[in-house]
Amino acid sequence: MAGRIKDIDVYNVSEKTPEKSSPWSSTMIIVRITTDDGFTGYGEAPTTLMTMPVFHSVKEVMRTFIGRNVLDITSNVLEFYKHSFYLSRSMEATSALSAVEIASWDIAGKMSSQPIYNMLGGKVRDQVRAYSNGWYSDCVSPDDFIEKAKGIKKKGYDAIKFDPFGNSFDRIERKSLDHAESVVRGLRDEFDFSMDLLIEFHGRFSFEAARMACQRLEPYGCFFYEEPLHPELEMRLPELRSQLMTPIALGERILNARDFMRHIVEGKVDIIQGDLTNSRGIMESFKIAAIADAWGVPVAYHNAFGPVQTAATLNLDMTINNFLIQESFEESWPDWKRKLLKSGYHIENGKFRLSGKPGLGIEIDQKSLESHMVEGMEPFDLESPPWVVSGTYIGEN
């Protein structure tokens, strides 16, 4: 008989210093499930200014999952769905659930001696194209961006994502538009089309500001615009899309397949960016990709936290038909994040490869995990929101 869930441990890990490439991920929530027959599996949850709420939400998920068959993943998720009244709108609850669901899949793969992607239909590619993010900390001028991007290019990447909008929020002044354009133009002039440019808006703008910024960058043939509008203004996305040639990508704040379906069918998005760690985990994200595929929409999963999230995401990238490109922060991670894995996936020349080992395909360094355990909230900077790369929320003089 398959193992029953005996324990669920939750780890708040950090070096307690702001992470330059991704301040929103200066802490990480890692979950470990142990079954009564000795199997262990790992999951991860996002922490962006919600470390403690997610940490305690995992304990709520535990009350539903403890004692249940670890292989009854769908049944276990539905049981929590029944009890969690605000799950469809609670980032904290769905993030905690996602971490436990991912850990369950890790065990299921280990029990069957198969990588997760084999359990979802097998791989359709051997490697996964990545774009680099987080590389542009402390970049303000066009020259700053160009010099750092050269280093990423030398490592084999042919796609980079970046936010050129400084400290603009909600509205954008003409000089800020000029500056953003100068950054994008400088990168395009430097690399021509040997480097895809993905523009990160961080969901920061009102409709008119988003329209002006998008249209200003149209001549540069960007790969996509990510979250150009405040998420509450999603009803105006079809109107914005109708004025652009560049695809609009979004999804990291959409929490389930049904909400993704509405965005797709209502013509609000060109590329979906679901996040496995806040959209109920692997199976729901697989369903989201299938819904998108039925509508001819490609998938570029959001992946901005840690190595467990990356491993889980890569297992889906390997098997979905409509994969487009995969976000990667690996080149900019601090050492403590790298040391959480003994082995697993690797990235070379801008391409990910999985190990092919059972489950997530990774081996966690439990000693390193435990040595980085901390208590309390993530670092906080009143002058710079946690969702921007460090040293970039600066206005032009």
Catalytic residue list: 202, 302
Q: What residues does 330 pair with on adjacent strands?
A: none
Question: Contacts from 126-129 at CB under 8 Å and sequence distance 24+?
Answer: 126/353, 127/351, 127/352, 127/353, 128/314, 128/317, 128/318, 128/323, 128/326, 128/351, 128/352, 128/353, 129/159, 129/325, 129/326, 129/350, 129/351
Cβ proximity of 350 and 158 under 8 Å:
yes
Rounded Cα gap, residues 115 and 123, in angstroms: 10
Give me 182's structure tokens.
């100068």
- Cα dist from 7 to 31, 46, 103, 105, whole Å: 10, 21, 12, 16
CA Rg, the chain, in Å? 20
- Cα dist from 18 to 87, 379, 385, whole Å: 30, 6, 12
**DSSP 3-state of 391:** coil
Rounded Cα gap, residues 242 and 122, in angstroms: 37
Q: How many residues are there in the chain?
A: 397
**DSSP-derived secondary structure for 281-315:** SHHHHHHHHHHHHHTT--B-----S-HHHHHHHHH
Of 71, 66, 96, 84, which is closest to residue 279 (Cα–Cα)? 96
Rounded Cα gap, residues 130 and 126, in angstroms: 13
